[in-house]
Amino acid sequence: MQIPFLDLKAQYETIKQEVDAAIQQVIASAAFAGGSFVEKFENEFAIYCKCDHAVGVGSGTDALWLALLGLGIGAGDEVITVPNTFIATAEAISYCGATPVFIDVNENTYNLDSTKLEAAITSRTKAIIPVHLFGQMADMDPIMEIARRHNLFVVEDACQAHGAEYKGCRAGSVGHAGCFSFYPGKNLGAYGEAGAVVTNDTDLATKTRMLRDHGQSRKYYHRYIGWNARMDGIQGAILSVKLKHLDTWSNDRRINAHLYNELLKNVKDVITPYEAECARHVYHVYAIRIAHRQQRLQQLTEQGIHCSIHYPLPIHLQDAYLSLELKHGKFPITEKCADEFLSLPMYAELTKNQIEYVAQQIINLCQ
Ligand SMILES: *Cc1c(COP(=O)(O)O)cnc(C)c1O
């Protein structure tokens, strides 16, 4: 049996007619860069996230960068985030001219540990970026409370958390802005690169809209020095089709995750994901922690089970951030997770048989 880590072709088979028709419509109307299909998706996605505005951009990285720029973050500022994330979270901070300041994560949720937040705040701190890692939202109440007290912005990195909830609130709707990626492998994936910023702040939405389109207030009149970070029309049209299926797919991911949990719950050397009671986890990634991870990864690959690691090297230990001079040992939970995480195949189309096969192989290896 071969079980791919992700199977985008299987998903396409279930929506082929709708997607093909949507692409044809865009080509027929020639609304390729921004335009009506992007606007339609922006309206639908804002409603989906229970936010007033959504601004379609070129990628999740663009979304984070432009949201920070839109909030006025720049040289000399500090932005607090976690080292247990994809590098784009930190890159967006650096590309504003600001400095990322890391704090460690909670050992159960793998998300920002708010008890470490206040000690990291200085007179230069302007914002906090909690990352909703793997599809579970960070513990937002204490983060928002501390941010209010210190007058800081909160920008949610919701790139892995489309449709996730915390105490009934949708990912992206709790902070001042929420940033999403529609990279093909994400829970809501385009057929190329795309992203969005969602917010209830009308001024921020207006500014982000300008920044993604060369800072234009109207064509060829430039209010800001912006960038070209528009969303493609074809991506907007495809995302509109796929958004209608997202809740079904998320529910299927949750069913699959709960089956893995059940099958792996008493396996020695394995820690299954923790789902907080107040959270609706959407399992973008189903990551277990496992002893002898490298060896297990190799053995599972030999059995046809294709796993992944998110992420093998924390950001503070990457060469790109050597200048921050953060040594090994500085963020012990993040570092331990990086050594133990193993992401198992996870998607809506995964079958019960496939999940049982994966679990059985893990059980055999861990005996
Ligand atoms: C995917 C991802 C991003 C970046 O999104 P792109 O669309 O690939 O630019 C940022 N943060 C996190 C946590 C991500 O998973």
Q: For 255-296, what is each residue's pLDDT tens digit?
A: 999 999 999 999 999 999 999 999 999 999 999 999 999 999
CA of 263 to the centre of ligand 1 (A): 30
Q: What is residue 288's predicted lDDT score, i.e. its pLDDT?
A: 98
Q: Determine if residue 36 is left, alpha or beta; phi over 0 gives left, psi from -120 to 50 gives alpha, anything else beta.
A: alpha
Integer Cα distance of 12 and 19 in angstroms: 8
Q: Is the pLDDT of residue 165 over 90?
A: yes
Residues near 103 by beta carbon (within 8 Å), at least 6 away in sequence: 80, 81, 82, 112, 113, 116, 117, 119, 120, 331
Q: How far is CA 292 from CA 5, 227, 270, 299, in A?
A: 20, 45, 10, 11
The ligand 1 atom nearest the CA atom of 61: 9
CA of 300 to the centre of ligand 1 (A): 27
CA of 165 to the centre of ligand 1 (A): 19
Task: Tell me what the pLDDT averaged over the chain comes to.
Answer: 98
Residues near 61 by beta carbon (within 8 Å), at least 6 away in sequence: 88, 91, 92, 181, 195
Q: Which helix (H) or strand (E) holds 280?
A: strand 279-280
Q: What is residue 346's predicted lDDT score, i.e. its pLDDT?
A: 98
Closest of 287, 357, 310, 331 to residue 109, by C-alpha = 287
Please report, rounded to a whole number, the percentage of residues in the chain having pLDDT higher than 70: 100
CA of 64 to the centre of ligand 1 (A): 9
Pair 282, 250: CB distance under 8 Å: yes
Integer Cα distance of 325 and 98 in angstroms: 16
Integer Cα distance of 242 and 110 in angstroms: 28
Number of Cβ within 10 Å of residue 62's Cβ equals 30
CA of 181 to the centre of ligand 1 (A): 5
Q: What average pLDDT does range 338-356 have in this prediction?
A: 98
What's the CA dihedral at 202, 208, 214, 215 to 10 degrees? Answer: 40
Q: What is residue 264's predicted lDDT score, i.e. its pLDDT?
A: 98
Residues near 155 by beta carbon (within 8 Å), at least 6 away in sequence: 64, 67, 68, 71, 127, 128, 129, 175, 176, 177, 178, 179
Q: Is the pLDDT of residue 330 over 90?
A: yes
Q: Which helix (H) or strand (E) holds 57?
A: strand 53-57
Q: Is the preceding peptide bond at 347 cis, omega within 30 degrees of 0?
A: no
CA of 215 to the centre of ligand 1 (A): 23
CA 302 to chain centre: 30
Q: How confident is the model at residue 345 (pLDDT cuts 50, 70, 90)?
A: very high
**Token representation of residue 276:** 């907080």
Residues near 365 by beta carbon (within 8 Å), at least 6 away in sequence: 296, 299, 300
- CA-only gyration radius of the chain, Å: 20
The ligand 1 atom nearest the CA atom of 193: 7
- Which protein residues touch ligand 1 with a CB less than 6 Å away? 59-61, 85-86, 88-89, 131, 157, 159-160, 181, 183, 195
Residue 99 phi, psi (nearest 5): -115, 130
The ligand 1 atom nearest the CA atom of 194: 7
Q: What is residue 367's predicted lDDT score, i.e. its pLDDT?
A: 83
Q: What is residue 173's predicted lDDT score, i.e. its pLDDT?
A: 98
Residue 285 phi, psi (nearest 5): -125, 135
Strand order in the sheet with 169-170: 169-170, 165-166, 279-280
Integer Cα distance of 9 and 166 in angstroms: 31
Q: Is the pLDDT of residue 153 over 90?
A: yes
CA 268 to chain centre: 30
Integer Cα distance of 109 and 91 in angstroms: 23
Q: What average pLDDT does range 302-318 have in this prediction?
A: 98
Q: How confident is the model at residue 215 (pLDDT cuts 50, 70, 90)?
A: very high
Q: What average pLDDT does range 151-166 have in this prediction?
A: 98
The ligand 1 atom nearest the CA atom of 160: 15
